[in-house]
Structure 1
Amino acid sequence: MLFPISDDDRHLMHPAWVTIGLVVANVVMYLWQITHPGFDLGWSVIPAEITRGMDFDQQVIVQIGHEYVRFPQAPGPSPIFLTIFSSMFMHGGLMHLGGNLLYLWIFGDNVEHRFGALKFLAFYLVSGIVATFAQIAMNPDGLIPNLGASGAISGVLGAYLVLFPRNRVNAVFFFSIISVPAIVVLGMWGVMQFIQGAGSFSAAAQNTGGVAYAAHIGGFIAGVVMGLISRVTMKTEPESVFRRIYQEDSKVRRYW
């Protein structure tokens, strides 16, 4: 399996401030989580709360097979639909946080430069919303809290795949680092999500914790679609003073 660690950013002209801000926001939210017990239960997305439009603030007991399982609950925001946004910035642990932010840091800046800052922020949130509803659709009555930026970041990966398929990505392969086109790394990642997700879509798995593959797939597809729309509607990177400086410098270097 290829594990990406960086990509070719030589053509980028200035820092991707929205991507940086999203990384910081996720870290700050995680620190808030671990210092406020119960916050993650109340502010995560619980499918049944969204589909019923109500906040479950009491412990519930659900029958799974022949067993009864207790699900702790905590008060959430009002309206409860705000958890769709808050859950995008929450994580289940340091590994969950670190893995998501690594992917956002590697691939987010290129997509942000292509869309422009505000459009990229809107794109990121829309990808997260689509991912959340994809997960809810798998089990509308589910009581397992869903949290994490994976759905929104999956959208970033989908957009990167169609916008920069030939961009070089440095990845760990066994005990060496290799440079391969983005289409290889992200294509493999997408295929693995569909394969691994197939097993999690069974009824037996719907009320157990684990990786929210439906969210990954939903966010990824949303990113691919919006990336394709971008390829048609925006042939080049948005105009900026940094772009003009880069173009002028390139013209000078061509004559050397």
Structure 2
Amino acid sequence: MIPISDNVRCCNKPIINYWLIGINIAVFLWELKLEFSDELGYFVNSWGLIPAQISGAITNAISLNFAAWIVVVWRILSLIFSIFLHGSFSQILGNLLFLWVFGKTVENILGHRRYLGFYIAAGVVTGVAQILIEPSLRVPLIGANGAIAAVLGTYIIKFPQAKIYSVLPLIIVYIPLEIPAFLYILWWFFQQLFYGIGSLNIPPVGVNQSGIIYWGQIVGLVFGAGFMRFRAFTR
């Protein structure tokens, strides 16, 4: 089941969404280059979100060690950087497909700047949740999954009755379908079971090898839904 578009009319060009998709593709191409030169492991372990590194840096900084606080700031930046890294072809294709379909509509209702802030904030909140859930984890967590889950949560609250134009691939036959938007919440989590397909070689321990990535996405979904509820309430 592949989402193609929706029946919600947009008046403005989703410029930020285009940029986000473009940046993700550019970074992934850079990852492929690094994989060929055997530098990808170092790159991902330096820029990906590793909960143990952040929790450890914060513990050291509590002793009021100034140098340790610099490390904390650097590690916290990984909450943002990790949003633009992906560990497999299936992960980036699935994420960007959902971002293409749902992100443009959310950007239309939020506006360009607010949408960008919302997207980054959702990724950071998701990352913080993953750190709190398993602070000793030493495996990098990467991907825009949490941010896109927040986009999906916002979309569902705003447009619960929207129809998503989709295709169901059956070998060489593609069947066009119209799927209610809320069903894509379930499909979003299910299709990620296949995100290991086309994985990149990221030594020494790979990436996203923990169930907490799903809990982080639930946090992202709730964050997006809560944001839209709060926005409607304050208007």
TM-score w.r.t. the length of structure 2 is: 0.76
Task: Judge which range, 167-176 or 128-137, deviates more.
Answer: 167-176
Q: Which residue of 1 aligns with 2:161?
A: 166
Counterparts of 1:90 and 1:39 in 2: how far apart (Å)? 10
Counterparts of 1:138 and 1:144 in 2: how far apart (Å)? 14
SS in 1 for 2:142: coil
Matches within 5 A, 1:1-80: 2-9=1-8, 11-36=9-34, 37=39, 38-53=42-57, 79-80=74-75
Q: Which residue of 1 aligns with 2:105?
A: 110
Counterparts of 1:230 and 1:49 in 2: how far apart (Å)? 35
SS in 1 for 2:182: helix
Q: Which residue of 1 aligns with 2:215?
A: 214
- Given that 1:170 and 1:179 are in contact with CA atoms closer than 8 Å, whether structure 2 keeps it comes out as yes
Matched positions, count: 197
Amino acid corresponding to residue 40 of structure 1 in structure 2: V
Q: Percent identity?
A: 31
1:228: how far off?
A: 1.1
Segments of structure 1 that go 5 or more residues without pairing to the other structure are 55-75, 194-206, 235-256
Q: Which residue of 2 aligns with 1:64?
A: none
1:171: how far off?
A: 2.5
- Given that 1:8 and 1:168 are in contact with CA atoms closer than 8 Å, whether structure 2 keeps it comes out as yes
* Change in CA separation of 1:168 and 1:232 when aligned onto 2, cut-off 3 Å: same
Counterparts of 1:25 and 1:148 in 2: how far apart (Å)? 13
Q: Provide Cα deviations, 1:205-247, integer angstroms capped at 9, x if missing partner.
A: xx9815620121111111110011222335xxxxxxxxxxxxx
Matches within 5 A, 1:238-253: none
1:87: how far off?
A: 0.2
Q: Which runs of 4+ in 1 moved over 3 A?
A: 172-175, 189-193
1:78: how far off?
A: 6.3
Q: Which residue of 2 aligns with 1:233?
A: 234
* Change in CA separation of 1:100 and 1:208 when aligned onto 2, cut-off 3 Å: closer
- Given that 1:53 and 1:81 are in contact with CA atoms closer than 8 Å, whether structure 2 keeps it comes out as no
* Change in CA separation of 1:173 and 1:210 when aligned onto 2, cut-off 3 Å: farther
Matches within 5 A, 1:139-158: 139-158=134-153
- Given that 1:77 and 1:83 are in contact with CA atoms closer than 8 Å, whether structure 2 keeps it comes out as no
Amino acid corresponding to residue 47 of structure 1 in structure 2: P
- Given that 1:43 and 1:83 are in contact with CA atoms closer than 8 Å, whether structure 2 keeps it comes out as yes
Q: Which has the higher helix share?
A: 2
Amino acid corresponding to residue 179 of structure 1 in structure 2: E
Amino acid corresponding to residue 102 of structure 2 in structure 1: F
Q: Provide Cα deviations, 1:78-137, integer angstroms capped at 9, x if missing partner.
A: 622111110000000221111100000000011011111111111101111111112222
Counterparts of 1:40 and 1:132 in 2: how far apart (Å)? 15
In angstroms, what is the RMSD of aligned CA positions?
2.4
Counterparts of 1:91 and 1:190 in 2: how far apart (Å)? 16
SS in 2 for 1:171: strand
Counterparts of 1:160 and 1:134 in 2: how far apart (Å)? 22
The answer as to 2:96 corresponding to 1:98 is: no
Segments of structure 2 that go 5 or more residues without pairing to the other structure are 59-70, 192-206
* Change in CA separation of 1:208 and 1:90 when aligned onto 2, cut-off 3 Å: closer
